[in-house]
Amino acid sequence: MKLLKFVLKILFKLLFILIVLQLIRGGIARVRIHELQSWHRPSEIKELEYDDYADVASYLKDEKIYLEKLYNEVEVDENSVYNRYVRNSVSSPFLPNGENINRSFEMIPEEIKGGVLLIHGLTDTPFSMRDVGQIFYEKGYYVFAIRFPYHGTHPGEMLKLNWKDFVEATNFGAKMVKQKLKTIDNPKFYMVGYSTGASATLQYITHEIKINKELPKPDGIFWLSPAMGVTPAAKYGFLDIWLSKIPGFEKFAWLDNYPEYDPAKYNSFPKNAGIQVYNIIKKARRNLEKLSAEERESLPPIYTYTSIEDATVDTSELVNVLRDLKNEDGELVIFDANRKYNEFYKPEIKDVDLAYAIENAKLDSEIVVITNYDHQRTDTVSVNRYKNKEWSIDKNWENKLKWSESSFSLAHVSLPIALDNPLYGKGTAIGTLNIKGENGLVYLSPSMMIRLRYNIFFEYIRENIKNKI
């Protein structure tokens, strides 16, 4: 009895300390996080229900109306130049013809020989998948890019996000592509997942197609900056969400609150978003662990593109997932940092032995490393292949790829974006946002200024995908 009382006393003390710490953290957030705006509140308008739609055309029609309603709800009537909720600003998501770039979209070639489903990332929109979609379209593939629920509207909607929304969007998109290919003889079906979109495809092939035989099995999957691991702290975010429901602590629901100057991606980040990505990764990886050896062998090949350093996801977990997948017919492409700037890097990047790390990854698939590691004084990179314990240099890319003068690495957000992308490409207002002034004047994070928004080596991805399909 005394022992029980002692244990309860300790537990109550720990609970008290936890509550105090949460209140302190919540108080700090009230000061640190900037004032919430109308676009940081969830809407009363309900998202579209996929069960209501039997074809893409009707879905796109209603989605256009839905996005317009959500935009009107938070639209600001002012002269701001960089605010996506000012319709005539440079940050507005509306094109001159009235089209909203945040919409789901399809590309339909004259002669369809296959189909591809494009799945974007967290806080992102289908716009980020347009350059990749163009690759498939030019090869005769029907392209459908689905918008995740609560994306492409305003960040407050992300407070309603659930991990199942990623799954339902992916399943609906796959059904729509399958429907489009029903009159095609032996069509190929591919899936492309960017960041959280990759997590959704892992859930799809390890669980969804097992329980729903109507879903099409992909012939291959492409991953760009795949989210296979995020900070473990995300699973405790629900504690912050609870506190944020108390009046005066609403800001505690947000990790970041920045100006919304990007037309196709939220800059503000609610903690619930991180929680839900953590959840779908956990579900998908548990499903993968349950697969038998035969089931793993029947999985489609996965072709992965990632940067050696990724501030958004845990790349070491990606290697663990690929190892579990076996994926003998797949490929992992790693874009190394620009070794010309080696002295500026953290020790874990500066001192890495690339060859040793690759050889000890113990992956069954081929590994490609795009790097100037062995010739650091030049911006020119080589394409190095590792397969069956042997290294080789791809002569087809000799002297064809090089770093731009001021870039030291790719970034999580840059991989699916071509240099000539009209929003994020080289020379665009957002793609090369590089304003300078005095410290402390603006409340944009310095990392937002330095982060590369386009892929210097997108041409390699373009040709690599074409060869695979």
**Inter-CA distances, 460 with 92, 246, 304, 368, 449, Å:** 31, 50, 13, 11, 26
Q: Which residue has the higher pLDDT, 314 or 130?
A: 130
**pLDDT digits over 347-384, tens only?**
888 888 888 889 888 898 999 999 988 877 788 999 99
Q: Does 204 score more than 80 pLDDT?
A: yes
pLDDT at position 361, please? Answer: 87
**pLDDT digits over 376-398, tens only?**
778 899 999 999 889 999 999 98
pLDDT at position 229, please? Answer: 85
The span from the CA of 131 to the CA of 152, in Å, is 18
Q: Does 453 score more than 80 pLDDT?
A: yes
pLDDT at position 176, please? Answer: 97
Q: Which residue has the higher pLDDT, 1 or 271?
A: 271
Q: Does 430 score more than 80 pLDDT?
A: no
- Of 147-161, 297-311, 391-405, the range with the highest mean pLDDT is 147-161
Q: Which residue has the higher pLDDT, 38 or 451?
A: 38
Binned at pLDDT 50, 70 and 90, residue 431 comes out as low
Query: What global pTM score does this model have?
Result: 0.92
Q: Which residue has the higher pLDDT, 379 or 5?
A: 379
* % of the chain beyond a pLDDT of 70: 89
Closest-CA residue to 423 (of 39, 94, 86): 94
Which of 172-175's residues contact partners 24+ apart within 8 Å by CB, and which partners?
172/50, 172/53, 172/146, 173/117, 173/119, 173/144, 173/146, 174/117, 174/204, 174/215, 174/216, 175/214, 175/215, 175/216
**Inter-CA distances, 5 with 11, 13, 19, 390, Å:** 10, 12, 21, 64
The span from the CA of 434 to the CA of 94, in Å, is 24
Could you tell me the domains of the chain? Answer: 33-404 (3.40.50.1820)
**The tokens of 382 are what?**
């080589």
